[in-house]
């Protein structure tokens, strides 16, 4: 990738400044993985927490190890919403209903943590968008 970018820059007659943008080391990879894992870990804490909603019920009560959340099938058509939905919309549905809680913004760090945890438990399963 770096080589072809450089070639492209040369081809356009631009000054061939060293392309450092995607140079990274093993320690960077480790850091990124650790960042992801720490957010997924927060997601697990939220998953088992009775404080996410208002009635003390936790996601884990019905979804042990986030089973039956099928992140690999999203976006998909949800009959009850009458449209193609994203995973975070279903997360909010379960927050509002079984947990009697307040919906989270799509980019709320708590939502990111929940989605990170769900994906972590489903790692290795192939993507099947739209599948029911």
Partner 1 sequence: MTKLITRRSVMAAGAAGLAGTVSTLPISMVQLAFAGTREDVRFTYISDSHIQQIKGASFVRNWDMGLKRAVAEANLIQPEVDFVMFGGDLAQLGKREELDHGAEMLSALKGKLHAVMGEHDYYLDLGEYWSKLYGPQWYSFDVKGVHFVVLNSILTTDEWTFHRWPSAEQRMQEMAGLDNPNGSPFMVGEKQRKWLADDLEKVSKDTPVVVFSHSPLQKIYKGWNFWTDDAEQVQALLAPFKSVNVIYGHVHQIQYNQIGNIAFNSVMATAWPWPYPSTYAQAESHLPVLTVPMNRADPFFERDATGWQLVDVNSGRVTARYQLWDNDQRVVGFDPAAGHPVDKSYQDPMRRKATQAHY
Task: Give the footprint of partner 1 on this chain (CB under 8 A).
Answer: 48, 54-57, 60-65, 67-68, 70, 73, 80, 93-94, 97-98, 121-125, 131
Through-space distance between the first and last CA atoms of the chain, rounded to whole angstroms: 37
114 binds, among ligand HEC, partner 1, none (CB under 5 to 8 A by kind): ligand HEC
Instruction: Give me the least distance between CB of 15 and ligand HEC, in Å please.
Output: 50
Backbone angles phi, psi at 85, to 5 degrees: -120, 160
Query: Residue 41, Cβ neighbours under 10 Å: how many?
Result: 14
State both tokens at 53: 């909603």
Tell me which residues in 35-74 interact with ligand HEC (CB under 6 A).
Answer: 52, 57, 59, 61-63, 68-70, 73
């Amino acid at each position: 990738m770096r080589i072809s970018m450089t070639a492209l820059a040369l081809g356009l007659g631009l000054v061939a400044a060293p392309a450092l943008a995607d140079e990274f080391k093993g320690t960077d990879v480790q850091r990124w993985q650790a960042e992801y894992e720490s957010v997924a870990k927060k997601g697990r804490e939220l998953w088992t927490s009775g404080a996410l909603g208002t009635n003390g019920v936790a996601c884990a009560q019905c979804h042990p190890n986030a089973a039956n959340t099928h992140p690999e099938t999203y976006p998909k058509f949800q009959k009850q919403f009458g449209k193609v939905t994203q995973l975070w919309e279903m997360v909010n549905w379960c927050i509002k209903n079984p947990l009697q809680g307040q919906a989270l913004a799509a980019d709320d760090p708590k939502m990111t943590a929940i989605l990170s945890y769900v994906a972590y438990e489903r790692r290795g399963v192939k993507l099947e968008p739209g599948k029911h």
